[in-house]
């Protein structure tokens, strides 16, 4: 028994957390490292942090975010429940962020996504960090240049380096190493801005041990690929949830949290995630931490700010000015990333406050910057970023879609992880067919599943073009607590024991999300005076999964109606671009070129954006002439 | 009373030091910061660390380094005297390194030496650290480039900077500073290798506060000049003794000490000296530590190693390979130098293990690298370094002269400080006329005085061309304890109460020193196939004082016999070159050019060096044809 503290036991793990009286259950969960969903970051408005009090009592306030039956069962919102005595609390499956094992499978999925773009963009193999094995001539009276210049001379005999730099620590170590190893040493060189830094000098030939990690710092998922810098090979991949989620699911919530509690908390959270990923990757592949010489990160602008502990405040305030879109390479240890103590952390450059380094990576990976024909990249996450252009010019914008396609703000929504329904078909007889990730019992619906559901419900006539569910059509359309919902999978067949449903509110959320993105696309078309048919290729990127149904995405009105073979789903281009930059200085230079040469267009400044948004809230759109190929289909729908 | 420790009281200060039983008096003096001369660094072979035991007893061994009368008075060698009980010890004037006030006057002398070379070498004013006041346009929706690039844009609108770098700390501070000061900021830019670093960004206009310190890190004296980087002006100068002297007066002794006890002790000692100099300079001139943005150091190669804590061991071992002759600029704080925490420490490049950055500075200051005619620089310190060349080519060597010209190894020798006899004339009647630095009672003889003494004794016939004192010629030639000596100033007229003398051993020391240097000069002439008359200009540098008598230096045979107006005494060119490099990037670049383009010739590899040395041990030389202008004078001498 600890003074002034109470004991909170979290089920099913049985994890015990001691916390001050008056703290909330969400505080206790954060302290204990127990993941509990939270979109609003603890403001009691998202209703995602539901937990069940099994023993003891908590102090809480009335809320409309819990159903009456839930309250009866002991459900409370963790962020609103204050503990004053010892309690036992259960975190139900729907409030849990999924754990390790599922992620491993995800990682393999992310890895597979590398394939489709592999041959489109090619850069010279010129890794950001190189190891050179040198057999230096021992000094003599005739050749007694200093150790430092002898090393430089040896390096310059192998490669061309205009400006070379070295820290005092490396110079200090030189006389010992070169003599102990009889002038046979391995120099590690890192690209740093326009210069090359001799990062370390090791005795003997260690040139075959030269690894790096590319990281996609997503708002919800952090993906890391372990790369052999010598062979170009991706050795392994791993992913985890961004543990900043406990400070808010949305970027803006996290920025506000940083403003209130300090940026360092956000940095520490993401750095912990990255360190954990690296640890997993190296131990699984028998690689030493000391042989990881670089980490390269790509993420949205806010994530990059959090990682480097830059004040993110102005990102959310007009005129939306980041502190730094092109962060210089720094010693990884400076931000707390644990690799070789002299290893470097590279950051891909961002484009603007709301178009980040992940999009730079996407443009790099898809090669838009060198495309002969007009190309569009649509990257769908919590924001939908759109890039249009070719080698002549590039324009981008960001549409605030909300996290619906990532499964948030949707009753049965979940991320693209095991148990997620990722494919849905409603047969002519009205029967729902679905497949889940991992082939297990369904736990919810992920983004690609939601797109299918919307299109299938329209085709089957369960909803009209405004998205309205018809409550009298079928027994699967129910009214529960005043809200209309369609039961996709009854509770008897789910892993959670609850119905997997899509509610009228969910449908409106999804329509709002897709309308935001499509309006962004349409505004770009208008300001550029372009027609959809001018777009010769569309790349669709994002964490949906592998099986996005292009046809259904068009029926939903998420993407323009162009010839299907011109549309390519490319998966996670952020990690792909990050890896390309790690493996080629030319790719990194190209990333800088991209970030400087994309014109950012702020949708807010377009007077007709709201009208565009409203028009796009239909299936597929108010203006059906934009979707000519759906003519026959739409005849059937009302 | 402390356990196992005994009390050593040093007179005249009365400073009390507690030390372990069995330690030496020199240990105690070091511990208490009491300066006691020591050339050998504590090996009991130089006899310079004489102290007088006034109370108590010490354990010591017999030594021939003390005169019988000294032993009777209680003199002991501090390095050989072990303490086992409380003692009171007096440090007599001859064993004291002079203190603060004298140094101030020295500093003014060093400062004056800037004048003669001022107009010979001119570089564009381009300080290594610049401050730019910027009024940045506040961001808007139309111009919302990040803070970092906005700053870079502002800088690049003022000056051309191909590669600009910035540390994470500065980037992190940016959003706060630019907004607090309404986008009016001062950026401090430091040259770093081939790049420019934004060292700091301050609010408002601080561009007028931009100072730096140039330091000549001499083996015995450390000289610092405070410089205004905006106006080119030398504000003040200060000097102190290199407190590494407690680890040995000679460079080699200090290297051995570093090998035994660690390099950090040597670094700490010199860094303390530099910090003390800076503190004195800034408080005397009401300048803030934060406004000192850079320190630039020049010294011999070993001193540069000590400063940066580089292992100096190989400097003294064949094939004499330094760790680093061109150290990169580093954060001054990294070695412990206290200026602005982000300020830089620059090191002038050295040439070889025994030709250091002080010589690079000398070549820079005298402009040999761009001379149309063949020029020679002779820099006389503990080593004599010789550079011969022009804009076409340059060759240098180092002759191990020993510290005789710095007043060490000579009975009445002392450094060029107050009370030193710096000018001597023996009249036709044989009367000794002298002047002292500061015009006070004499305490000893400094280098320029010793040169005069040698030449005057020869001219007056007290010594022959082999340097032998004739004991029967004059009552001032005495035999004391088996050694012949000439009394220059009787004890009644000196500040120390002891005779100021020159002994037969002193004369041999001086002859050895000058012979080493002249042999070096002559070897260079031979390998380059040159004649003295080919040398169109000789610059003589070193810490002699302002009044070196060229004629007497030639009579001594220290420097070649060429037309007197072609010989110029230039004083401390190390500090002068250091200042030039601080004030002009072009000068620093030239220093790098110099260090790369001087060929180092190792005298040891010349088979005839020893013969050259033996021949040069005469006054002026065995081969009098080398000194044609002295023909008449030498007729008189035997």
DSSP state of B423: E
What is the average pLDDT across B578-591? 94
Distance CA A224, CA A337 (A): 13
Asked if B161 has any chain A CB less than 8 Å from its own CB, the reply is no
- Count of A–B CB contacts within 8 Å? 155
Nearest by CB to A321, from B144, B192, B323: name it.
B144
- Identify the pLDDT of residue A392: 96
Q: Cβ separation of B147 and A176 shorter than 8 Å?
A: no
Q: Cβ separation of A327 and B602 shorter than 8 Å?
A: no
Asked if B308 has any chain A CB less than 8 Å from its own CB, the reply is yes
Q: Tokens for B230?
A: 């905006």
Question: Is the CB of residue A210 less than 8 Å from the CB of residue A292?
Answer: no
Q: With a cut of 90, say whether residue A108 has pLDDT above it.
A: no
Q: Is B14 left (phi over 0), alpha (psi -120 to 50) or beta?
A: left
Q: Name the least confident of B41-50, B317-326, B353-362.
A: B41-50
Asked if A311 has any chain B CB less than 8 Å from its own CB, the reply is yes
DSSP state of A325: S
Q: Cβ separation of A147 and B327 shorter than 8 Å?
A: no
3-state SS, residue A161: coil
Give residue-wise pLDDT tens across range A407-465: 778 999 987 778 999 999 999 888 999 999 888 999 999 999 999 999 999 999 999 99
Asked if B165 has any chain A CB less than 8 Å from its own CB, the reply is yes
**Chain B residues with CB inside 8 Å of A356's CB?**
none
Asked if A171 has any chain B CB less than 8 Å from its own CB, the reply is yes
**Chain B residues with CB inside 8 Å of A163's CB?**
163, 193-195
- Identify the pLDDT of residue B368: 95
How many angstroms away from the CA of A400 is the closest CA of chain B? 17
3-state SS, residue B374: coil
Maximum Cα–Cα distance across chain B = 99
Asked if B208 has any chain A CB less than 8 Å from its own CB, the reply is no
Asked if A197 has any chain B CB less than 8 Å from its own CB, the reply is no
Q: Cβ separation of A165 and B322 shorter than 8 Å?
A: no
- Identify the pLDDT of residue A38: 65
Q: Cβ separation of A319 and B171 shorter than 8 Å?
A: no
Phi, psi of B140 (to 5 degrees): -140, 175
- Identify the pLDDT of residue B113: 40
Give residue-wise pLDDT tens across range B142-162: 899 999 999 999 999 999 998
- Identify the pLDDT of residue A114: 43
Which residue on chain B is closest to A310 by alpha carbon?
Answer: B172
Distance CA A189, CA A130 (A): 5
How many angstroms away from the CA of A83 is the closest CA of chain B? 38
Distance CA B477, CA B297 (A): 45
Three-state DSSP string of B446-493 = CHHHHHHHHHHHHHCCCECCCCCECCCCCCCEEEECCEEEEEEECHHH
Question: Is the CB of residue B552 less than 8 Å from the CB of residue B454?
Answer: yes
- Identify the pLDDT of residue B215: 97
Asked if A141 has any chain B CB less than 8 Å from its own CB, the reply is yes
Nearest by CB to B148, from A144, A163, A324: name it.
A324
Q: Is B256 left (phi over 0), alpha (psi -120 to 50) or beta?
A: alpha
* Model pTM above 0.90: no
How many angstroms away from the CA of B300 is the closest CA of chain A? 14
- Identify the pLDDT of residue B106: 42
From the candidates B264, B266, B320, B321, which should be mutated to test the interface with A, based on the most A CB atoms within 10 A?
Answer: B321
Contacts 24+ apart (CB under 8 A), B482-486: B485/B411, B486/B457, B486/B462
Q: Going by C-beta distance under 8 Å and a sequence separation of 6 or more, which residues neighbour residue B1?
A: none
**Chain B residues with CB inside 8 Å of A326's CB?**
146, 148-149
Distance CA B67, CA B503 (A): 14
The DSSP annotation for B427-444 comes to -TT--EEEEEGGG----E
Distance CA A404, CA B510 (A): 91
| C-alpha angle A369-A373-A377 in degrees, rounded to nearest 5 | 55
Percent helix, percent strand, percent coil in chain A, to nearest 5: 35, 25, 35
Helical packing angle, A573-583 and A585-597, nearest 10°:
130
Q: Cβ separation of A146 and B328 shorter than 8 Å?
A: no
DSSP state of B257: H
Phi, psi of B342 (to 5 degrees): -100, 5
Give residue-wise pLDDT tens across range A123-175: 888 999 999 999 999 999 889 999 999 999 999 999 999 899 999 999 999 99
- Identify the pLDDT of residue A236: 87
Q: With a cut of 60, say whether residue B100 has pLDDT above it.
A: no
pLDDT band for position A119 (cuts 50, 70, 90): very low
Partners of A584 in the β-ladder: A126
Distance CA A9, CA A16 (A): 4
Q: With a cut of 50, say whether residue B499 has pLDDT above it.
A: yes
| C-alpha angle B402-B405-B407 in degrees, rounded to nearest 5 | 95
Give the B window 255-284 contacts with A, CB below 8 Å. Answer: none
- Best-predicted range by mean pLDDT (A518-522, A630-634, B564-568): A518-522
Asked if B327 has any chain A CB less than 8 Å from its own CB, the reply is yes
Q: With a cut of 80, say whether residue B201 has pLDDT above it.
A: yes
pLDDT band for position A107 (cuts 50, 70, 90): very low
From the candidates A142, A153, A175, A180, which should be mutated to test the interface with B, based on the most B CB atoms within 10 A?
Answer: A175
- Identify the pLDDT of residue B101: 32
Percent helix, percent strand, percent coil in chain B, to nearest 5: 35, 25, 35
**Chain B residues with CB inside 8 Å of A174's CB?**
323-324
Distance CA A418, CA A438 (A): 5
**Chain B residues with CB inside 8 Å of A333's CB?**
none
**Chain A residues with CB inside 8 Å of B309's CB?**
172
Asked if B321 has any chain A CB less than 8 Å from its own CB, the reply is yes
Which residue on chain A is closest to B313 by alpha carbon?
Answer: A175
Which residue on chain A is closest to B178 by alpha carbon?
Answer: A323
Q: Cβ separation of A147 and B195 shorter than 8 Å?
A: no
- Which residue's entry shows tokens 């101030």? B104
Question: Is the CB of residue A346 less than 8 Å from the CB of residue A296?
Answer: yes
Asked if B360 has any chain A CB less than 8 Å from its own CB, the reply is no
From the candidates A169, A317, A323, which should be mutated to test the interface with B, based on the most B CB atoms within 10 A?
Answer: A323
Q: Name the least confident of A122-136, A162-176, B535-549, B605-619.
A: B535-549
Task: List Cα–Cα distances, B433 to B300, B430, B450, in angstroms.
Answer: 36, 9, 13
pLDDT band for position B170 (cuts 50, 70, 90): very high
From the candidates A146, A190, A319, which should be mutated to test the interface with B, based on the most B CB atoms within 10 A?
Answer: A146
- Which residue's entry shows tokens 């148990």? A419
Asked if A607 has any chain B CB less than 8 Å from its own CB, the reply is no
Give the A window 418-477 contacts with B, CB below 8 Å. Answer: none
**Chain A residues with CB inside 8 Å of B141's CB?**
318-320, 602, 604-605
Asked if A530 has any chain B CB less than 8 Å from its own CB, the reply is no
Q: With a cut of 50, say whether residue A110 has pLDDT above it.
A: no
Q: With a cut of 90, say whether residue B369 has pLDDT above it.
A: yes
- Identify the pLDDT of residue A552: 95
From the candidates A138, A139, A144, which should be mutated to test the interface with B, based on the most B CB atoms within 10 A?
Answer: A144
Question: Is the CB of residue B323 less than 8 Å from the CB of residue A146?
Answer: yes
- Altogether, the residues listed in chain A come to a count of 638
- CA A550, A556, A559, A562 dihedral sign is positive
* E strands present in B204-254: 211-217, 221-228, 234-241
- Altogether, the residues listed in chain B come to a count of 638
Which residue on chain A is closest to B310 by alpha carbon?
Answer: A172
Q: Cβ separation of B165 and A311 shorter than 8 Å?
A: no
Which residue on chain B is closest to A318 by alpha carbon?
Answer: B141
Q: Cβ separation of B175 and A320 shorter than 8 Å?
A: no
Nearest by CB to A323, from B144, B146, B326: name it.
B146
- Identify the pLDDT of residue B26: 87
Q: Cβ separation of A162 and B318 shorter than 8 Å?
A: no
**Chain B residues with CB inside 8 Å of A310's CB?**
171-172, 175
Q: Going by C-beta distance under 8 Å and a sequence separation of 6 or more, which residues neighbour residue A501?
A: A411, A412, A485, A486, A487, A488
Asked if A595 has any chain B CB less than 8 Å from its own CB, the reply is no
Which residue on chain B is closest to A172 by alpha carbon?
Answer: B310
Q: With a cut of 60, say whether residue A115 has pLDDT above it.
A: no
Q: Cβ separation of B320 and A144 shorter than 8 Å?
A: yes
Task: List Cα–Cα distances, A141 to A46, A515, B304, B323, B353, in angstroms.
Answer: 76, 77, 21, 15, 11
Q: With a cut of 50, say whether residue B239 has pLDDT above it.
A: yes
Mean pLDDT of chain A: 89
Distance CA B146, CA A328 (A): 14
Q: Tokens for A474?
A: 């079928």
Q: With a cut of 70, say whether residue A541 has pLDDT above it.
A: yes
What is the average pLDDT across A572-593? 93
pLDDT band for position A100 (cuts 50, 70, 90): very low
Give residue-wise pLDDT tens across range A293-336: 999 999 999 999 999 999 999 999 999 999 999 999 999 999 99
- CA B265, B271, B272, B274 dihedral sign is positive
Distance CA B2, CA B23 (A): 15
């Amino acid at each position: 028994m600890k003074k002034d503290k109470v004991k909170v036991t979290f089920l099913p793990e049985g994890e015990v957390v001691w916390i001050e009286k008056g703290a909330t259950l969400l505080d206790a969960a954060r302290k204990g490292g127990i993941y509990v969903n939270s979109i609003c970051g603890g403001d009691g408005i998202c209703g995602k942090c539901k937990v069940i009090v099994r023993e003891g009592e908590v102090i809480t306030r009335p809320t409309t975010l819990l159903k009456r039956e839930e309250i009866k069962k002991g459900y409370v919102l963790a962020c609103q429940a204050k503990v004053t005595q010892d309690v036992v609390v259960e975190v139900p499956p729907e409030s849990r962020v999924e754990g390790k094992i599922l992620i491993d499978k995800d990682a393999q999925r992310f890895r597979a996504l590398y394939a489709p773009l592999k041959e489109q963009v090619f850069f010279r193999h010129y890794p950001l960090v190189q190891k050179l094995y040198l057999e230096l001539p021992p000094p003599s009276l005739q050749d007694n240049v200093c150790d430092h210049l002898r090393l430089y001379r040896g390096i310059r005999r192998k490669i061309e380096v205009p400006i070379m730099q070295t820290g005092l620590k490396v110079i200090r170590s030189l006389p010992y190493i070169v003599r102990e190893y009889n002038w046979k040493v391995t120099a590690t060189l890192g690209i740093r801005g326009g210069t090359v830094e001799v990062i370390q000098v090791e005795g003997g030939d260690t040139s075959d041990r030269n690894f790096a990690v590319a990281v996609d710092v997503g708002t919800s998922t952090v993906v890391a690929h372990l790369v052999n810098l010598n062979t170009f090979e991706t050795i392994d991949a791993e992913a985890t949830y961004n543990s900043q989620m406990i400070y808010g699911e949305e970027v803006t919530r996290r920025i506000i949290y940083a403003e209130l509690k300090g940026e360092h908390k956000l940095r520490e959270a993401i750095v912990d995630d990255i360190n954990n990923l690296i640890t997993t990757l190296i131990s699984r592949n028998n690689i030493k931490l000391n042989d990881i010489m670089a980490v390269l990160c790509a993420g949205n602008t806010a994530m990059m700010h959090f990682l480097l502990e830059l004040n993110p405040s102005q990102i959310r305030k007009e005129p939306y000015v980041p502190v730094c879109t092109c962060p210089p390479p720094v010693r990884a240890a400076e931000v707390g990333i644990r690799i070789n103590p002299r290893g470097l952390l590279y950051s891909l450059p961002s484009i603007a406050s709301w178009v980040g380094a992940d999009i730079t990576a996407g443009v790099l990976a898809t090669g838009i910057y060198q495309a002969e024909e007009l190309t569009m990249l649509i990257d769908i996450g919590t924001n939908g970023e759109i890039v249009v252009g070719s080698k002549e010019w590039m324009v981008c914008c960001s549409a605030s879609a909300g996290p619906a396609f990532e499964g948030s703000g949707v009753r049965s929504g979940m991320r693209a992880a095991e148990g997620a329904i990722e494919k849905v078909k409603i047969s002519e007889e009205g029967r729902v067919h679905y497949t889940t990730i991992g082939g297990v019992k369904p736990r919810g619906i992920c983004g690609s599943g939601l797109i299918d559901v919307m299109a299938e419900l329209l085709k089957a006539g369960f909803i009209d073009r405004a998205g309205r569910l018809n409550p009298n059509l079928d027994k699967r359309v129910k009214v529960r607590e005043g809200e209309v919902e369609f039961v996709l999978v009854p509770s008897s067949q789910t892993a959670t024991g609850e119905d997997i449903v899509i509610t009228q509110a969910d449908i409106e959320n999804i329509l709002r999300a897709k309308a935001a993105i499509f309006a962004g696309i349409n505004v770009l078309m208008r300001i550029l005076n372009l027609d959809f048919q001018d777009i010769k290729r569309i790349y669709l990127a994002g964490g949906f999964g592998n099986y996005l149904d292009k046809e259904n995405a068009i029926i939903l009105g998420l993407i323009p109606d162009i010839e299907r073979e011109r549309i390519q789903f490319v998966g996670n281009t952020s990690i792909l671009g990050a890896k390309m930059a790690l493996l080629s200085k030319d790719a990194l230079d190209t990333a800088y070129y991209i970030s400087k040469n994309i014109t950012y267009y702020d949708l807010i400044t377009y007077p007709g954006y709201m009208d565009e948004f409203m028009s796009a809230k239909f299936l597929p759109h108010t203006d059906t002439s934009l979707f000519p190929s759906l003519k026959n289909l739409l005849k059937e729908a009302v």
